Structure 1
Amino acid sequence: MVAMATSLELELPLLPFSLNEVDFAQVLVPSESKTLHLYEARYLGLLEESLMRKNKLFVHFVLDPIIIENSTEEASFAARNGCLVFIENVERLEVGALVSIRGIGRVKIVKFVQADPYLKGVVIPVQDRAPDSVSKLHPKVMQVKEALYSLNSLEIKLKAPKEAQLQTRIANSLMWTEKELPLDCNEAFFPSLAERVSFASLQPVSGSTESELLKLQQEKLRAMDLRDSFQRLDNSLEFVKDNISRVAAKLAIQSVEMQ
């Protein structure tokens, strides 16, 4: 059973990642899928505990250097960008396991309760503020979804490496935003449709350069800090439009090279 102090708190294993400019994929946003190769004993222990739980949940977060002097203290400001994740699939390997996870919603770590052999803590949900007008959100959600469909249709025309996935990351995230979440915990941990769609655009496009991945990382950080769905949808729309322009340019070059 998942230990709860209140219905708005969950005690869960915590998986930390460092934030740097070398690895652009450390920040996980709601709706994003990611595959982790876990092989250290402590992280395999975290995996086993998560799998034993009814909902197969843990928390993915970014950790700037932090010292835990007292396991009952509240989390330091350096524990950032927490995202509740669901384990979608586990592939056992000779060394460790490949673990497919899905970002569900943002969380804040309010207390560390265990440091060894892996981190555990108490988290609370983080959601956007209630909008002044829900009716204004719907058209913006539709605009972002239409832009994402356009980007996806362009991206699948790009020549991709043989090992590339058949489905784009954006299409995968967008499909997930429209699903009902079959998890048994407080609804406050699940973002609204508008919030989920606003994050769905923050996925790498096939053939992204290092500078494009760095820009994506910056957009993810900005999106995780925002508490305004309308503003994030606005930002997402501009980000998708920029990606459409870049992919269209790459397709034009690809067309010339194939002649």
Structure 2
Amino acid sequence: MNLSTTAPTFLRQPHIIRHRYSSSSSSYFGFSKKENYKRCRFIALASFSSSSYSLPELELPLLPFPKDQVLVPSEAKKLHLHEARYLALLEESLFQNKSLFVHFVLDPIAVNETLREASFAARYGCLVSIEKVEQLDVGALVFIRGIGRVKIVKFAQEEPFLHGAVVPVKDRILHEATELNPKVLQLKEAIQNLNSLEIKLKAPEEALLQTQTANSLNWAEKAPGLDCDESFVPSLAERISFAAYQPVSGSMQSELTKLQEEKLKAMDGKDTLERLRNSLEFVNNNISVVAAKLALQSLKGQ
């Protein structure tokens, strides 16, 4: 297996994405539009022990996002793709890769002013499944679902879109089911309570969907039917541990920022029980916030 970690991929021009969740200017890469960097390089951050060589690989299209748009397993997301190269990525994913591609974060790590070269690390990879596509007058609306964490171990193609090999990333088996199951049940109950409160909250029309957390939990409870190696699908407890990390109705910017911080922490972790505990704390905090908003809403309605 070629890990290609010592020979990063070099791109002659910054690979700027222009889908709904990114900036169309070069500021996306951590430098201003006025700065003309001649090339950028992508580094697949991979450190493997000898036992890791037995991990299954998938070679798939790769779609980069900024760090504040990390996708976690179980999360649903909607993309508006309209550029030709990303429509080509969509077509390949649908017809050659069983509706799969990889959502990952492109993280600026260094700028070499002498060589006018910027370096970017590929982090927080998530295997995604395309659930639905709606044709638009310009481009397509693509509904995706995060399946499980992956690590990019090789960049194989840069044009017309990124392509590379990934391996699964899963939690370490540190706890028995007897330890995990009670926390799983507590978290499910808390999410259901949160959803009940959210339904009562009258959010503005432009607010985020009220059932995102419940939607993620419903998906996590099922065994995803994917046509790929089962190693890429997290365990039930691991899937549910990620379901809590969704925005709630009428979230303020400070709350969304906190959510992103928690999502990054969840993606970095390898202990299912610890993530379940953190998720439960996060949901209970959201319950308190939504309950306070409901009380204020009730007072205004009097």
**C-alpha distance in 1, partners of 2:215/2:179?**
26
Alignment of structure 1 residues 58-97 onto 2, 5 Å:
58-65=101-108, 78-97=121-140
**C-alpha distance in 2, partners of 1:197/1:179?**
10
Sequence identity percentage = 68
Matching residue of 1:12 = 60
**C-alpha distance in 2, partners of 1:168/1:192?**
23
**C-alpha distance in 1, partners of 2:175/2:248?**
33
Matching residue of 2:273 = 230
Count matched residues: 242
Matching residue of 1:72 = none
TM-score, reference length from structure 2? 0.77
**Structure 2 residue matching 1:206: 3-state secondary structure:** coil
| Superposed displacement of residue 166, structure 1 | 6.9
TM-score, reference length from structure 1? 0.89
**C-alpha distance in 1, partners of 2:290/2:209?**
17
Candidates 226, 230, 249, aligned match of 1:183: 226
The answer on 1:240 being equivalent to 2:288 is no
Q: Which residue type is aligned with residue 92 of structure 1?
A: Q
Matching residue of 2:294 = 251
1:196-249 CA distance string (max 9 Å, x none): 111000000010000000000000000000000000000000000100000000
The answer on 1:34 being equivalent to 2:77 is yes
| Superposed displacement of residue 134, structure 1 | 2.0
**C-alpha distance in 2, partners of 1:79/1:9?**
17
| Superposed displacement of residue 161, structure 1 | 3.1
Alignment of structure 1 residues 1-259 onto 2, 5 Å:
8-19=56-67, 24=68, 26-53=69-96, 55-65=98-108, 78-162=121-205, 168-259=211-302
**C-alpha distance in 1, partners of 2:56/2:125?**
15
| Superposed displacement of residue 36, structure 1 | 0.3
Matching residue of 1:73 = none
1:80-119 CA distance string (max 9 Å, x none): 0000000001111111111000000000000000000100
**What are the ranges of 5 or more consecutive residues in structure 1 without an aligned counterpart?**
68-75
Most deviating of 77-86 and 99-108:
77-86
Most deviating of 45-54 and 221-230:
45-54
Preserved CA contact (<8 Å) 1:14 1:61: yes
**C-alpha distance in 2, partners of 1:231/1:167?**
27
**What is the alpha-carbon root mean square deviation over aligned residues?**
1.9
Preserved CA contact (<8 Å) 1:7 1:186: no
Name which structure has the greater RCO, CA cutoff 8 Å, separation 6+: 1
Is the radius of gyration larger for structure 1 or structure 2? 2
**Structure 1 residue matching 2:61: 3-state secondary structure:** strand
**What are the ranges of 5 or more consecutive residues in structure 2 without an aligned counterpart?**
1-52, 111-118
| Superposed displacement of residue 148, structure 1 | 0.4
